[in-house]
Amino acid sequence: MKKVVKFGGSSLASAGQMKKVADIIRSDEARRYVIPSAPGKRYSDDTKVTDLLYRCYDAAAAGEDITEKLQVIENRYQEIIDGLGLELSLKEEFELIQDYFMRQAGRDYAASRGEYLNGIIMANYLGYRFIDAAEVVRFDEKGNFDEEQTNEVLKQRLKNLENAVIPGFYGAMPDGSIKTFSRGGSDVTGSIVARAVRADVYENWTDVSGVMVTDPRIVENPEAIETITYRELRELSYMGASVMHEDAIFPVRREGIPINIRNTNRPEDKGTLIVESTCRQPKYIITGIAGKKDFCAINIEKEMMNAEIGFGRKVLQVFEENGISFEHTPSGIDTFTVIVHQSEFVEKEQSVISGLHRAVKPDSIDLESNLALIAIVGRGMKAAKGTAGRVFSALAHANVNIKMIDQGSSELNIIIGVRNEDFETAVRAIYDIFVTVQL
């Protein structure tokens, strides 16, 4: 059995945390390939190492003396090294980093050093082989991740290695310069490695015991999801649920490798298993609730529009010509509504309105701003009767007015629109009706 294990920044913020991580890895010999992030915050007012590196590099680019700023970062790592009792020096590494910073090697290079240095420490502590991600994760000339070449290089590099530490978040361009994924990209590295070694499971260790049914900032101590499908996760992630880097899903999904979200501080918890499909019945009718604020609805009215061939295409073409993507298009016999991000629309609203008048000659156009969209997602909804009715009932009791509803034919999700100010109240009401009353 082979497992790839990725640990987030909070899991590696200090020597004490790194000892927990090492205990987790050593407790299961299947955990053979380790992907570390850079050290995160040790306490609430602390600063992540990646942010310290960015500040240090920006100071160097501005021609400032960075000796003290770099020393702060070096001290963070030395504290971890001393706490682990290692005979390891990063002095030469920091001399090289200072030289590269002064020569302005790029912000990607700067950001990547957090994972790089943590990888060296972790490999030393575990007794595993260290592999610089710049040697095995490839980007093309345009800066796009080259998945197939990376997969082949990693396969060859890891095929005879029982154990290895590969830092997350970065790789290299064809000329050898460092290129990073977007923030949170260590998740992607773990997924890439899992695909290359054909892992049985990709464990993603963080500071929560899996994926929560909803945002814990809105509902106190929400239930964890035991099993979720990739499709459900994608729906929730798109609507704002912060689980893991979106691009981390695709490499493992193609290989049918499950992802297990686990808690470094509570390793006894099973966490959440993310799978392609499952016959396991969900604990609740819904799997999760997620949402975003600040949408705008463009309501178009025209008598007999349902008989006008190409009406919808003409409407959406106006948005396309203005470079605006749409979220949903609920419609009636004489109404057609387009939901868009308010921030994308506000500067172009008059151009869109005039374009719509020319394209479809509507009877009227009405705009409604400051809307929030909430997605209620769950494979269990397909077999359950009255799910939408329960949503409406819960919101009515909470005095929340529904501005829009949209449900796909897959019956995997229901999207509702409410006013921004009703967003949190609506989420709590939906959570209570489907989860709290079942506890």
Q: For a pLDDT cut of 70, what percent of the chain falls above it? A: 99
Report pLDDT for 157: 96
Question: Would you say residue 426 has pLDDT above 70?
Answer: yes
Question: Would you say residue 98 has pLDDT above 70?
Answer: yes
CATH 3.40.1160.10 boundaries in the chain: 3-207
Report pLDDT for 293: 96
Report pLDDT for 424: 97
Residue 252: count other Cβ atoms within 10 Å of its Cβ: 24
Task: Measure the N-to-C terminal CA separation of the chain; round to a whole number of Å.
Answer: 36
Q: pTM for this structure?
A: 0.86
Question: Would you say residue 105 has pLDDT above 90?
Answer: yes
pLDDT band at 126 (very low <50, low <70, confident <90, very high): very high
Task: Give me 320's structure tokens.
Answer: 């396309």
Which CA distances in Å does 320 have to 93, 257, 259, 352, 356? 49, 37, 36, 10, 12
Q: Smallest Cα–Cα separation from 54: which of 128, 2, 109?
A: 109
**Class of 3-207 in CATH:** alpha beta
Q: Smallest Cα–Cα separation from 187: which of 128, 252, 102?
A: 252
Query: Directed axis angle between helix 311-321 and helix 349-360, to 10°?
Result: 150
Q: How far is CA 33 from the centre of its chain?
A: 22
The answer to whether the CB of 192 falls within 8 A of the CB of 147 is yes
Mean pLDDT of 269-274: 94
- SS3 label, residue 31: strand
pLDDT band at 374 (very low <50, low <70, confident <90, very high): very high
Report pLDDT for 45: 93
Mean pLDDT of 49-53: 97
Question: Would you say residue 257 has pLDDT above 70?
Answer: yes
Report pLDDT for 412: 87
pLDDT band at 237 (very low <50, low <70, confident <90, very high): confident
Q: Which of 3.30.2130.10, 3.40.50.2300, 3.40.50.720, 3.10.20.30 would CATH assign to domain 288-438?
A: 3.30.2130.10
The C-alpha atoms of residue 389 and residue 393 are separated, in whole angstroms, by 6
Q: For a pLDDT cut of 90, what percent of the chain falls above it? A: 81
- C-alpha radius of gyration, the chain, whole number: 25
pLDDT band at 117 (very low <50, low <70, confident <90, very high): very high
**What is the secondary structure of 26-48 as a DSSP string?**
HT-TTEEEEEE-----SSTT---
pLDDT for 164-190, tens place per residue?
Answer: 999 999 999 999 999 999 877 889 999
Report pLDDT for 409: 65
Report pLDDT for 388: 87
Which CA distances in Å does 327 have to 152, 286, 297, 416? 37, 22, 10, 12
pLDDT band at 77 (very low <50, low <70, confident <90, very high): very high
The answer to whether the CB of 166 falls within 8 A of the CB of 136 is yes
Going through 102-250 in order, the beta strands assigned E by DSSP cover 129-130, 164-165, 170-172, 178-180, 201-206, 227-229
The C-alpha atoms of residue 336 and residue 334 are separated, in whole angstroms, by 7
CATH 3.30.2130.10 boundaries in the chain: 288-438
Q: Smallest Cα–Cα separation from 293: which of 372, 403, 235?
A: 372
The C-alpha atoms of residue 2 and residue 255 are separated, in whole angstroms, by 14
Amino acid at 225: I
pLDDT band at 385 (very low <50, low <70, confident <90, very high): confident
pLDDT band at 238 (very low <50, low <70, confident <90, very high): confident
